Chains A and B, each alone.
Chain A
Amino acid sequence: MNDYLVLCDGAPTPPKAGKKPDLSLFTEGKERNLRLQVDGFGSAFWKVIPERLGDLLRLAAFVYGADTRISRGTGKDAFAADWRRSFRFVMPVWDLAFWKQGDVREPLAEMLEFLTGDEFAFDFVQRSPQKPVQQFLFKELVGKLPAVKVVTLFSGGVDSLSAVLQAVKEGRSPLLVSHRPGPVIDRRQKNLVDELRKRFSSWVFPHVSLWVNRHSGKRTVEHSQRSRSFLFTSLGVVAAAMLGVDDVWLCDNGVVTINLPQSSENVGTFLSRSTHPRYLSLAQALMRTISDQATLTITNKLFDKTKKEVMEIVAASGHPELLQETVSCAHVEGKTKLQPHCGVCTQCIDRRFASVAAGLAEHDMPSRYEKDVFLSPLKEGEERTHAENYVRFATKLESLPNADKLFETYPELFDCLPDDGDVDACARILFDLFERHQKTVNGVLEQEIKVHSQDIRRAALPPDCLLRMVLSGQHTKDRRVGYVDRLRSLLTKSIPAAFQTQTAKNEHHVQDVGESVFLAASEQLQREAPQIPFGAVTTKPDFSDAPKDTTPLFIEFKYIKNRARLNHIQKETAVVTLLHGSPRAFVCTEKVRFSPLLSFLSTAYAARPEYPLPDCPYPNPVMLLKSPGERLIVCDCSGAL
């Protein structure tokens, strides 16, 4: 375990600490190394923040300061031994009696642990009244400013802009609150607020922001910044308390909010949880206690929206050009005004897909990205990983038919369900959200493939770009093969279960069960692949009857019982295929093992000469027949019986 002792604003080392401090943070005095400063509304009136809320701001800043100055190890630390840190903060506060309470310290530590994955312990000591201390001041436009009804956290990205526009649309008169980690982001936020003021005369868009960054001393070594959301939340809550407002909006689109693992290497807080519903719930409970506002709510208004839908909110405001003023990129350093996006971090990839899907590419021009995620060569490492994982995730989501399957595949989702409330309704919302997300991503990929079809035909795209990555394998894969795979999956899952307690009486029995599996799934199959008509009939396969422009698929169930040599069955099938049909057919086999017995599945696949099939998609084909015939699946269930 990596234990770190952090002393704040000159607090003494605890007598039983047993070690020297690892980090000392100062927000004041000669040794000041952490800038913490509130800039206000540009008005005539100043108001001092109450002591406890001042303590909260300092606490959030110290946590953020330590978070960014102590490393979690590098990406080469395969087992993430250094990822989790154990912090012990010694921190002076004004309202010592309050902060020392167990029901303040414990929820605080629990919330921070969920948010960051680190362990937190706090030793609060009395802040000396003699010592000079910076007062936090909010300026208020009393008399000029209409009543603010909601405090909206404002990062300068698309999601927070959309939340602001949503608030204005609902007549909620938002106060915009920002964290300013550096001058570049500060300029962007101010610029976006100016643009809002120019375009919307119905509201003045008051904006307050908090400087928290390194003033001097040890440089930022850790860029994961998992605690930044706590800093953000704290500033929002303090602003709300100052104005007597109950609603704080901390908004991100639903897919980012949940941040499901796109790859198995993403575990726990490797994925940020800045607006995760569980974090918001823990933060709300704690902040109600700290601010003495029992009705304070911290809400993510975009929880059920995809990034595309968030962009559509901006477009619906009548000013889609505002998108151009927002920046989503995770990398700030080294970016120019003309190209503020790297194009290959997770945020940029999601933004690019969303703007294409929403038909807003003219307001989010590819030229503003350093790399075009679809067409540029992607470097080995993070670039390739993020892009491939993003596409793979959408492909995987496509195969999940309902909420139960989604939760089974991504058990992380259980963390998102409310402790009190309708769990099943929330599960359905989440399923709908991710279904829309996958449709967006997969739709954009299909669209981009069409747009660049000429380059694809000419092989003019770089081999390591995303489109080539997606296409390789796809051009050799017939859609019908996917359909066969789907049917195969249905059978291999259902038939063993159907014969768990009762063995099959004869081949008819197996066929009846097989038919019932297809009948039960027919509606779903037609929904999934409407271009392939589906019907379950019991008939002798006679391929010669099939209309010329169709490729019927016949499925035959063979019950082998005690026949040990499965090759005979394959031969029978092959003969049937030879007897009827056209000159090209594949007969492939694949072993599928059911527990506890071995089962065997054989797939025969054929096509008409005018619609030639690509190479056989299955491993280890046992025979390739130049034969007439149509597609045929032979499913032998004897092993499972």
Chain B
Amino acid sequence: MGHVRVGRLPKTKPWAGLFDQLQGGEINAGQVAQATASAAQQEFAALEGDRRINYCFWFLVRLATAARGDDFIGELQRLGLSNPSFSSGLAFVQQIARTVEREQRKRGQPTIFSRMAELSLRQVLSTNLVEQSNTLFGTSQEEIQAACRAISTRQQFGKVARAFFANFMSRSIRYLTDKELSNHVGPDEGMASPEQVLQFEQTLNQHCHETAKIVEDFAAGWFSKHNWETNNDISEKETAGFTAYALQKIQMDLREGVA
């Protein structure tokens, strides 16, 4: 393996709740998420105004709206994909990844959280575009556009938005908890084996997904309304309010253990 930087959580008062959760006999994903979100409340709150995170969500919005119009390629070019290739779903997501990375540079300094937002966007697009655009006869613009159009309905957009924010929050929480989890794996520990850590990870993902339920309903309505009002032209600025609210709401629900 190459060089890997690993960190520890400070054994300070704000993190005591999380350490308590990890010390227990059975580690509960919901309670761990709650303790982590509480300890990192200040840092997580700062994400609400992060332009780079908002840009990732805005890109998702614009990709959905682009697929609804007649000029899909033109819309993609306006998003920064200068010469989009439709040879496969993977190739398409790769170009988006490169574009988002380039465009994000114009929106302030990168942080670990902005990187996580980038990865969440990629993951959501992989889930929704890659398999869906593959056919027996290869992939063309039609399939890619159809896959993008499929996420542009009110209901589907709500699901995709939920997946994006849930994925982002899950990554953010796991980024912190993983600094300590390995120390609690083994006989007589909270996690019996590395495999159980993976199960815990899945449960935590699921917990964040459940917590982000409110985003699904809200995003569906917001997308539908704003898309109609702006005639398929939702701006990055208009998205910022939604992003801030979505993050705020999920974080609050995580802290309060609502799922």
Binding site for B on A (CB under 8 A): 1, 72, 75-80, 83-84, 119, 224-226, 252, 255-257, 259, 262-268, 270-274, 330, 346-347, 349-350, 380-382, 384-392, 395-396, 399, 403-404, 407-409, 411-412, 414-415, 417, 419, 423-424, 427, 463-464, 468-474, 476-477, 593, 595-596
Contact = CB atoms under 8 A, between A and B. Distances in A.
For A75, A83, A330, A463, which residue has the most chain B Cβ atoms within 10 angstroms? Answer: A75
B90 A411 contact: no
Nearest to A420: B85
Nearest to B87: A423
A601 B189 CA distance: 29
Given A381-B183, A408-B126, A424-B90, A386 B8 contact: no
B129 to A, nearest CB: 10
Interface stretch (B63-71, B114-122, B223-231, B244-252): B114-122
Nearest to B162: A595
Given A346-B1, A427-B90, A469-B194, A385 B122 contact: no
Contacts of A259: 1-2, 4
Contacts of B111: 80, 84
B52 interface: no
A267 B209 contact: no
B182 A388 contact: yes
Given A346-B1, A404-B131, A423-B87, A411 B198 contact: no
A521 B6 CA distance: 39
A464 B8 contact: no
Nearest to B9: A78
Nearest to B193: A473
A387 B6 CA distance: 12
Contacts of A463: 186-188
Interface stretch (B72-80, B171-179, B233-241): B171-179
Nearest to A330: B3
Given A255-B1, A330-B3, A382-B6, A404 B109 contact: no
B175 A264 contact: yes
B93 interface: yes
B27 interface: no
Is the interface on chain B under 10, 10 to 19, 20 to 34, or 35 or more residues? 35 or more
Contacts of A593: 206, 210
B25 interface: no
Nearest to A73: B7
Given A384-B185, A473-B196, A424 B174 contact: no
A385 B6 contact: yes
B36 to A, nearest CB: 11
Given A262-B4, A404-B126, A473-B193, 6 more contacts: A75-B6, A267-B112, A270-B6, A417-B94, A472-B193, A596-B213
B186 A272 contact: no
Contacts of A257: 2
B179 A265 contact: yes
Given A80-B112, A468-B186, A271 B2 contact: yes
A595 B10 contact: no
A380 B183 contact: yes
Nearest to A470: B193
B7 A390 contact: no
B122 A78 contact: no
Interface in B142-195: 159, 162, 171, 174-179, 181-183, 185-189, 191-195
A349 B196 CA distance: 21
A79 B183 contact: no
B26 to A, nearest CB: 9
Nearest to A474: B193
Nearest to B139: A424
Contacts, number: 201
Contacts of B171: 264
A470 B194 contact: yes
B2 A423 contact: no
23 contacts: A72-B5, A76-B9, A78-B40, A84-B111, A255-B1, A262-B1, A262-B4, A264-B177, A265-B6, A265-B176, A267-B116, A380-B183, A388-B194, A404-B90, A412-B119, A414-B97, A417-B94, A424-B87, A424-B88, A427-B90, A473-B191, A595-B213, A595-B216
Contact of B130 (A408, A419, A468): A408
A183 B23 CA distance: 45
Interface in B103-136: 109-112, 115-116, 119, 122-123, 126-127, 130-131
Given A264-B174, A268-B112, A469-B194, A388 B185 contact: yes
A431 B178 CA distance: 25
B90 A265 contact: no
Contacts of B40: 78-79
Contact of B90 (A267, A330, A423, A471): A423
Contacts of B185: 384, 388, 469
Nearest to B199: A485
For B93, B175, B188, B209, which residue has the most chain A Cβ atoms within 10 angstroms? Answer: B175
Nearest to A276: B2
B122 A411 contact: yes
A264 to B, nearest CB: 3
A463 to B, nearest CB: 5
B194 A272 contact: no
B8 A272 contact: no
B4 A271 contact: yes
Given A1-B109, A75-B5, A472 B187 contact: yes
6 closest cross-chain pairs (CB), A and B:
A473-B192, A346-B1, A411-B122, A473-B193, A264-B174, A392-B194
Nearest to A416: B94
B57 to A, nearest CB: 16
Given A388-B182, A388-B194, A472-B192, A346 B10 contact: no
B16 interface: no
Contact of A78 (B7, B90, B98): B7
A78 B179 contact: yes
B9 A414 contact: no
A84 B110 contact: yes
Contacts of A470: 193-194
Contacts of A473: 191-193, 195-196
Given A380-B183, A427-B90, A224 B5 contact: yes
Contacts of B216: 595-596
For B3, B94, B174, which residue has the most chain A Cβ atoms within 10 angstroms? Answer: B3
